[in-house]
């Protein structure tokens, strides 16, 4: 018995970092990009918990540089000045309040941890930081941590510019500067301890895990060294011995020496091939068609499902930063985007993250969005605007709130209902009409061809009348949108015209009349 307990405890220690620590049957998280802590706290209570969202990825909570040229870009938050909890999203008190209130309704908080670097080398000196902490980039001096010149990697980088010049050289990628950002020496125990202190402060407040920003630019062993110093999660909300969930931002589209698999020992990795490929398929580029999605997942060369954090778009590639290219689907291509997110949430592969964005004045010049830097909706003093809620439940003040779109929210619920059920009953027409089920709990069908669809297919579901959760949902035991009749043999007729507002239909057992 004791041996068994020891084994279980050891397994818990080893496996913990892959487990998102969400409530049971809450299977997705949402990135509330640039939201204020007080808005997230309210969103947990009024929307995320009631609709089965498992957690929220929040923007970096630690003090960052203030950039005025351009005017307060979103990316200033990826330039740390200290580990004080103090940003445009709010102060430490507001952060603590959010974590507690979200946990109290069973919604977890995941912090975007920017620990590979501090601010850009050209940041200058002064107190132009979100909490007014002094810094001097010329001297690599960050007294509010404190870090000094000894704590940076310069000596280890052998490129002429001190920058990453070639992603084909792993040493450069990990020891040189990413976009001019002062690169921390993570081989130093002092630096590891400061990072662990910051993360432990957040763990003690009740966060459930971390996105590790720029993980590709850190040696896997250095990451392991600071992760080993982390506390177990706060027992006010988590059971004894629970490890923080870790997902590492490693951009691996193939063709570089650094791969996602090198990081499996530390936790999950972001699978960037997922959104890049799904966008290519739905746009029907490169001869791709939905019929090819039959073996979606590892069959497409992705990392194993239990190591993957997946998403259709993220805060970088929705505006041309990072990687993935033009195929990435975003809220700007709403019709295809809803299909992509619907496909992702129906499919069993990976742990899913939904994006929630703000609108910006996108303007292309020579194929590049010259306004890709625009920060969140803000007031004239630079403070971030509140997320207001319109009478029809959408968001105001230029917050897009994709997670509140009926089709996306209902597919988050779909994923919870079919959790643990196998991928089943695949059907395709050899082109862009495809369907699949999840055991006997749910079924989804798409028409991305430019001709109408009218088919009888096996759903695997018990007979009865189901509400389509894309065109509507079940309310007061009636359907607000389309109805689907499943007969005794599990088959159903589906008609989706090519000009349908949303050319897909999804049904599940909780939306049965
Ligand atoms: C800003 C300014 C810079 C300035 C700097 C310092 O824009 O001009 O030098 O400040 O003053 C964000 C913004 C940056 C911003 C930074 C700091 O995106 O514009 O710099 O904040 O404020 C790489 C990294 C990846 C990173 C991504 C953006 O590997 O970690 O670049 N993402 C994270 C965050 C991101 C943040 C940072 C990291 C920094 O999510 O928001 O930056 O904290 C290849 C590599 C990728 C590499 C890309 C882009 O990708 O593989 O690893 O990502 O290049 O450099 C094909 C290939 C694909 C390739 C791609 C693009 O698709 O298949 O592999 O082409 O070449």
The CATH number of residue 432's host domain is 2.60.40.1180
Whole-angstrom distance, CA of residue 424 vs CA of residue 241: 36
251 lines ligand 1 (CB under 6 A): yes
322 lines ligand 1 (CB under 6 A): yes
CA distances (Å), origin 75, targets 154, 173, 302: 23, 20, 28
Ranges of residues in the chain with a pLDDT under 70 are: 1-15
In a domain, 463, yes or no: yes
Could you tell which of 57, 74, 316 is best to mutate to test the pocket of ligand 1, judged by most ligand atoms within 8 Å of the CB? 316
- Residue from 328, 314, 321, 315 nearest 276 by CA: 328
**169 noted as active-site residue:** no
Q: Is the pTM of this model over 0.95?
A: yes
249 lines ligand 1 (CB under 6 A): yes
Whole-angstrom distance, CA of residue 469 vs CA of residue 291: 23
276 lines ligand 1 (CB under 6 A): no
Span 108-133, pLDDT tens digits: 999 999 999 999 999 999 999 999 99
Which residue range forms the structural domain that includes residue 461?
Answer: 423-511
Whole-angstrom distance, CA of residue 437 vs CA of residue 440: 7
In a domain, 447, yes or no: yes
In a domain, 491, yes or no: yes
CA of 64 to the centre of ligand 1 (A): 17
Span 227-247, pLDDT tens digits: 999 999 999 999 999 999 999
Whole-angstrom distance, CA of residue 477 vs CA of residue 29: 28
pLDDT given at position 15: 63
**249 noted as active-site residue:** yes
CA of 103 to the centre of ligand 1 (A): 32
In a domain, 391, yes or no: no
pLDDT given at position 10: 45
Q: Within the chain, what is the greatest distance between any pair of CA atoms?
A: 75
pLDDT given at position 12: 44
pLDDT given at position 324: 87
In a domain, 451, yes or no: yes
The CB density around residue 327, as the number of other CB atoms within 10 Å, is 18
39, 63, 249, 252: the catalytic one is 249
Domain count, the chain: 1
272 lines ligand 1 (CB under 6 A): no
In a domain, 70, yes or no: no
Could you tell which of 178, 210, 324 is best to mutate to test the pocket of ligand 1, judged by most ligand atoms within 8 Å of the CB? 178
In a domain, 182, yes or no: no
325 lines ligand 1 (CB under 6 A): yes
pLDDT given at position 16: 78
Q: Which atom of ligand 1 is nearest to the CA of 73?
A: 22
CB 128, CB 63: distance < 8 Å: no
In a domain, 504, yes or no: yes
The answer to whether the Cα torsion of 41, 45, 48, 52 is positive or negative is positive
CA of 473 to the centre of ligand 1 (A): 40
């Amino acid at each position: 018995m004791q041996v068994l307990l020891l084994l279980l405890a050891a397994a818990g220690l080893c496996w913990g970092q892959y487990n998102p620590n969400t409530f049971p049957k809450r299977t997705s998280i949402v990135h509330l990009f640039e939201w204020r802590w007080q808005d997230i706290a309210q969103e947990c209570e009024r929307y995320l918990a009631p609709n089965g969202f498992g957690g929220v990825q929040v923007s970096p909570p630690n003090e960052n540089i203030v950039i005025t040229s351009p005017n307060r870009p979103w990316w200033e938050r990826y330039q740390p000045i200290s580990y004080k909890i103090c940003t445009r999203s709010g102060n430490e008190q507001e952060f603590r309040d959010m974590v507690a209130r979200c946990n109290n309704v069973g919604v977890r908080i995941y912090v975007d941890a920017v620990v590979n670097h501090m601010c850009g080398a050209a940041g200058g000196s002064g107190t132009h930081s979100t909490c007014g902490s002094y810094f001097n980039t010329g001297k690599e001096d960050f007294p509010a941590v404190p870090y000094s010149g000894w704590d940076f990697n310069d000596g280890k980088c052998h490129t002429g510019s001190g920058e990453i010049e070639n992603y084909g050289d792993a040493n450069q990628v990990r020891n040189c500067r990413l976009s001019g950002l002062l690169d921390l020496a993570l081989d130093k125990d002092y630096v590891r301890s400061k990072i662990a202190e910051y993360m432990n402060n957040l763990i003690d407040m009740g966060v459930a895990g971390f996105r590790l920003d720029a993980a590709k630019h850190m040696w896997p062993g250095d990451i392991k060294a600071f992760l080993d110093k982390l506390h177990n999660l706060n027992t006010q909300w988590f059971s004894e011995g629970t490890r923080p969930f870790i997902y590492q931002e490693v951009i691996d589209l193939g063709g570089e020496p650094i791969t996602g698999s090198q990081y499996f020992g530390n936790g999950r990795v972001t699978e960037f091939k997922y959104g890049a490929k799904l966008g290519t398929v739905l746009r029907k580029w490169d001869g791709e068609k939905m019929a090819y999605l039959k073996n979606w997942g590892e069959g497409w060369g992705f990392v194993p499902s239990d190591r993957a954090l997946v998403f259709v778009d993220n805060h970088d590639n929705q505006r041309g930063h990072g990687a993935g290219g033009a195929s990435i689907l975003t809220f700007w291509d709403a019709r295809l985007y809803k299909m992509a997110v619907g496909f992702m949430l129906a499919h069993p592969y990976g742990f899913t993250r939904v994006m929630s964005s703000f609108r910006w004045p996108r303007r292309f010049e020579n194929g590049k969005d010259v306004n890709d830097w625009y920060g969140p909706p803000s007031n004239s003093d630079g403070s971030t605007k509140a997320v207001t809620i319109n009478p029809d439940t959408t968001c105001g003040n230029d917050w897009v709130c994709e997670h509140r779109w009926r089709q996306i929210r209902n597919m988050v619920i779909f994923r919870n209902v079919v959790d643990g059920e196998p991928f089943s009953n695949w059907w395709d027409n050899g082109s862009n009409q495809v369907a699949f089920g999840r055991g006997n709990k749910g079924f989804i069908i798409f028409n991305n061809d430019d001709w109408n669809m009218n088919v009888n297919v096996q759903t695997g579901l018990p007979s009865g009348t189901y509400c389509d959760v894309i065109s509507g949902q079940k309310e007061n035991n009636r359907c607000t949108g389309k109805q689907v009749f499943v007969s005794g043999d599990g088959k159903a007729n589906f008609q989706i015209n090519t000009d349908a507002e949303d050319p897909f239909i999804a049904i599940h057992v909780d939306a049965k009349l």
